[in-house]
Homo-oligomer: A and B are copies of this chain.
């Protein structure tokens, strides 16, 4: 049983009726509805909770953290950022969605600005699968069509992905590396682009499938924590 915590900033849904209209249970609720049949143990955390709901205890009991944030990256507490990074380093899986690209968390793990081009113009996005052998695209066709989305365009200022899984086409003329994996310490990370709050992206079945697959893919393996530090020689050193 994989313990999944869905962290949703959950500010837009409370502030903007049009967002609440699309996501009456919050985006976390929509994501949960979409992946619950996979048998994960699901729970939630949001920005307004103490420590953003991501206490040490909560993280210690999380195998995979799904992270959506947008409007108050700045207000996210630094010590919680550090705590999440430490847990990723120890093996917790992390799925960063859409505007989470600009969170302190993702930028800290990447070591880059994570800047990009963007535009809100209700335009079509088509995510093409470029790694058809990857478990994250199990059950997914050659591409995923989203009729209306925010545009994110290259250059996306990220480190070279360990694996590139999706590349997006946008009607306005841009492309984007939309599905990227990274390793940091013992943890595995998946960044997945779609999911602007004013579109029903998290009601899309293919998007659910990708997120559920990514939960399984980022879930930690069973293995002793790696030892670091002073090391006695394993072989006799001849002089």
Contacts and interface: CB of A to CB of B under 8 A. Distances in A.
Contact of A119 (B123, B137, B230): B230
Nearest to A140: B223
Nearest to A117: B231
Interface stretch (A39-47, A174-182, A198-206): A174-182
A141 interface: yes
Contacts of A122: 237, 239
Given A173-B169, A175-B168, A228 B155 contact: yes
A184 B224 CA distance: 31
Nearest to A85: B111
A154 B128 contact: yes
A181 to B, nearest CB: 10
A221 interface: yes
Interface stretch (A23-31, A70-78, A185-193): A185-193
Interface in A201-239: 220-224, 226-239
A156 B118 CA distance: 27
Interface string A142-159: 100000000101111101
A: interface residue count bin: 35 or more
Contact of A221 (B134, B175, B236, B237): B134
A1 interface: no
A133 B234 contact: no
Interface core residue of A89, A110, A153 (most chain B CB under 10 Å): A153
Contacts of A85: 111
Contacts of A153: 128, 231
A196 interface: no
A235 B172 contact: yes
Nearest to A236: B238
B162 A233 contact: no
Interface of A: 85, 89, 91, 108-113, 115-119, 121-124, 126, 128-135, 137-142, 151, 153-157, 159-160, 162-164, 167-175, 177, 182-188, 220-224, 226-239
